[in-house]
Amino acid sequence: MKYLLTAVFLMFTKPLYGETYHFASINYLIEQEVGRIVLTEVYKQLNIDITITPLPGKRAQFEATTGMKNGEIMRIFSYGEENPATLRVPTPYYYLETTAFIRKDSDINIRTAADLAQYHIVKVRGVKHTNNITKGLKHVEDMDTTAQILKLVSKGLADVALTNKTDGLMYLKKLGIKNVMHSPSLAVLDLYHYIHESQRHLVPLVNSKLIEMKESGELARLIKSAEEQVMSSRQ
C-alpha cells in the first residue's frame, strides 16, 4: 500500500520534479563510484533526473551543506550529526569497512583502532570514517587519493594507509602493488544518501524506493552489477 501511495504522490506532483537535481560524490573512491551507479538508477525509477559531480571530500561537503548541490550521494551516519543542513535518507544502501593497509614485511599488527596510535598514518583527505577513527592521533597525514597513500606504504614512507577495504584492494590490484596487505576490518559502517534540507520532499520518496528495492532483492542485484562494472573499468 505504501508503494502505491508513493506512486500516486509522484504522479500528481511530477511537475514539481521537472528539474534535474545535482548531487556531489567524493572523487577517486571505489564505493562512491558504485554509489553513483546505484543512486542514479534509484532516482531513475522515481522518474527523477540527477547529475553527480565527483569532488574532493571537503569540497563535496561544502557544496552539499551550503545548498550549492542538492546533497551528497553517500556518507556515513555521523555525517548527518555533523551537518544538520543535510537530511539523512533513513535506509542505508551500501556499506564500507575501515581497514588498515600495511607492508607485509613490517612488524605492524593492527587489530583495533587503539593500535593505530603509535604509527605514521596516511589517509584520503575529507573522508569521514577515516577522520573519525584517527581523531586525536598525532601522526596522521592527508593525501588526495587512495593510490597515493598505498604507494607511500609500499615504499616504506608511511606505516599505515587507512581506507575502505574494497577501495584499497582494488587499487592494490590496479597499481600492481604486491608488498602491502590489509588488517582485519576496524569498523563496518552503513552508508546513507544525504539531501539538502531545501529539497526535503525527496527524502520519503527515495527512502520508500530503497525499501522497496531491498525487499525485492533488486538493490542487491544492482549493487553487484555496479561493483562488477567499476571493477571492470579499473582493470
115 and 151, same domain (yes or no): yes
* % of the chain with per-residue pLDDT over 70: 92
Alpha helices in the chain (DSSP H): 2-13, 30-45, 57-66, 77-82, 128-133, 146-154, 165-175, 202-216, 218-234
Query: What is the length of the chain?
Result: 235
131 and 196, same domain (yes or no): no
Choose the final residue of a domain: 154, 169, 187.
187
84 and 107, same domain (yes or no): no
For residue range 36-66, what is the model confidence (pLDDT) as tens digits?
A: 999 999 999 999 999 999 999 999 999 999 9
Residue 14's pLDDT band, with cuts at 50, 70 and 90, is very low
Choose the final residue of a domain: 187, 206, 221.
187
Q: Which domain holds residue 60?
A: 2-94+191-234
105 and 183, same domain (yes or no): yes
Strand bridging mode 160-164 / 71-75: unpaired
For residue range 3-13, what is the model confidence (pLDDT) as tens digits?
A: 555 544 444 44
For residue range 138-190, what is the model confidence (pLDDT) as tens digits?
A: 999 999 999 999 999 999 999 999 999 999 999 999 999 999 999 999 999 99
157 and 126, same domain (yes or no): yes
Rounded to 10 degrees, what is the CA torsion of 26, 30, 36, 42?
-130
66 and 127, same domain (yes or no): no
What's the chain's average pLDDT? 93
CATH code for position 168: 3.40.190.10
How many domains does the chain fold into? 2
Residue type at 42? V
For residue range 65-98, what is the model confidence (pLDDT) as tens digits?
A: 999 999 999 999 999 999 999 999 999 999 999 9
pTM: 0.88
Distances (CA, A) of 138 to 40, 116, 119: 39, 10, 9
How far apart, in whole angstroms, are the C-alpha atoms of residue 65 and residue 63? 6
17 and 72, same domain (yes or no): yes
Residue 235's pLDDT band, with cuts at 50, 70 and 90, is low
178 and 125, same domain (yes or no): yes
64 and 101, same domain (yes or no): no
For residue range 101-120, what is the model confidence (pLDDT) as tens digits?
A: 999 999 999 999 999 999 99
How far apart, in whole angstroms, are the C-alpha atoms of residue 151 and residue 184? 20
**Across the strands, what pairs with 22?**
51
101 and 90, same domain (yes or no): no
Cell 576490518 sits on residue: 185
Question: Sign of torsion, CA 107 113 118 124?
Answer: positive
226 and 146, same domain (yes or no): no
Cell 577513527 sits on residue: 133
How far apart, in whole angstroms, are the C-alpha atoms of residue 85 and residue 92? 19
101 and 39, same domain (yes or no): no
At 2 the pLDDT is 53
Residue 15's pLDDT band, with cuts at 50, 70 and 90, is very low
Residue type at 91? T
Residue 19's pLDDT band, with cuts at 50, 70 and 90, is confident
How far apart, in whole angstroms, are the C-alpha atoms of residue 208 and residue 160? 40
At 233 the pLDDT is 83
